[in-house]
């Protein structure tokens, strides 16, 4: 039998995750959070903050995102001018924090969320293909033909095929 969502252990874990997020908002490192909350490693503290962000701890999560975006923006404001117009040595030194800040901003804003892999159970394209394959074509009505064509159009759009199904799908990112 699965553990109750209101068990003491679960409630305690959620509270600990909330505290981890608050400590991160206060600027504490993951190592400091792990020590303060008795996590075994800093990676446990990282995981706790990520879980807290995904849960409905919305006010603290939004505060964390906003505060982190402000901090990353400050990094960009500091290093961007050096990377663009500074001496060559300064440009090289400034490139790393600029690129790291941009990467962290993209992750924080979920700009690089991976697309579902074609062929996986949750992939919408796989679901559409299964619907097309499962049709009994022997006694189709006009409405069923229209429905089937609608599914075929969705598949064409998702694979970026020209109408009618000819050609091959575009390469990812292309």
Reported as a pLDDT band with limits 50, 70 and 90, residue 117 is low
Q: Give the chain's end-to-end CA distance (angstroms, integer).
A: 47
Judged against a pLDDT cut of 60, whether residue 118 lies above it is answered with: no
Alpha-carbon span 151 to 132, nearest angstrom: 7
Reported as a pLDDT band with limits 50, 70 and 90, residue 174 is very low
Q: Are 79 and 71 in contact (CB under 8 A)?
A: no
The more confident residue out of 45 and 124 is 45
The more confident residue out of 77 and 160 is 77
Q: Are 105 and 139 in contact (CB under 8 A)?
A: no
Reported as a pLDDT band with limits 50, 70 and 90, residue 121 is low
Give 111: exposed, middle or buried? Use CB within 10 Å, 0-12, 13-18, 19+.
Answer: exposed
Considering the entire predicted model, what is its pTM? 0.40
Residue ranges in 2-111 assigned as alpha helix (H):
8-25, 30-36, 42-54, 58-85, 88-108
Give 155: exposed, middle or buried? Use CB within 10 Å, 0-12, 13-18, 19+.
Answer: middle
Judged against a pLDDT cut of 90, whether residue 84 lies above it is answered with: no
Length of the chain: 174
Judged against a pLDDT cut of 60, whether residue 164 lies above it is answered with: no
Judged against a pLDDT cut of 60, whether residue 87 lies above it is answered with: yes
Judged against a pLDDT cut of 80, whether residue 116 lies above it is answered with: no
Read off the pLDDT of each residue in 119-136 and give the average, rounded to a whole number: 59
Q: Specify the pLDDT at position 33.
A: 93
Share of the chain above pLDDT 90, in %: 10
DSSP code for 86: S
């Amino acid at each position: 039998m699965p553990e109750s969502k209101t068990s003491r252990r679960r409630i305690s874990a959620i509270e600990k995750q909330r505290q981890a997020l608050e400590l991160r908002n206060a600027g504490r490192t993951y190592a400091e959070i792990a020590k303060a909350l008795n996590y075994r490693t800093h990676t446990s503290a990282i995981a706790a903050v990520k879980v807290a962000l995904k849960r409905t701890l919305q006010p603290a999560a939004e505060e964390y995102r906003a505060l982190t975006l402000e901090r990353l923006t400050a990094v960009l404001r500091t290093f961007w001018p050096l990377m663009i117009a500074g001496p060559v040595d300064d440009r090289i030194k400034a490139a790393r924090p600029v690129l790291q800040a941009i990467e962290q901003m993209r992750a924080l804003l979920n700009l690089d969320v991976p697309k579902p892999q074609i062929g996986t159970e949750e992939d919408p394209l796989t679901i559409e293909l299964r619907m097309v394959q499962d049709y009994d074509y022997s006694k189709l009505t006009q409405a069923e033909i229209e429905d089937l064509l609608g599914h075929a159009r969705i598949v064409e759009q998702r694979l970026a095929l020209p109408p009618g199904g000819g050609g091959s799908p575009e390469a990812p990112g292309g």
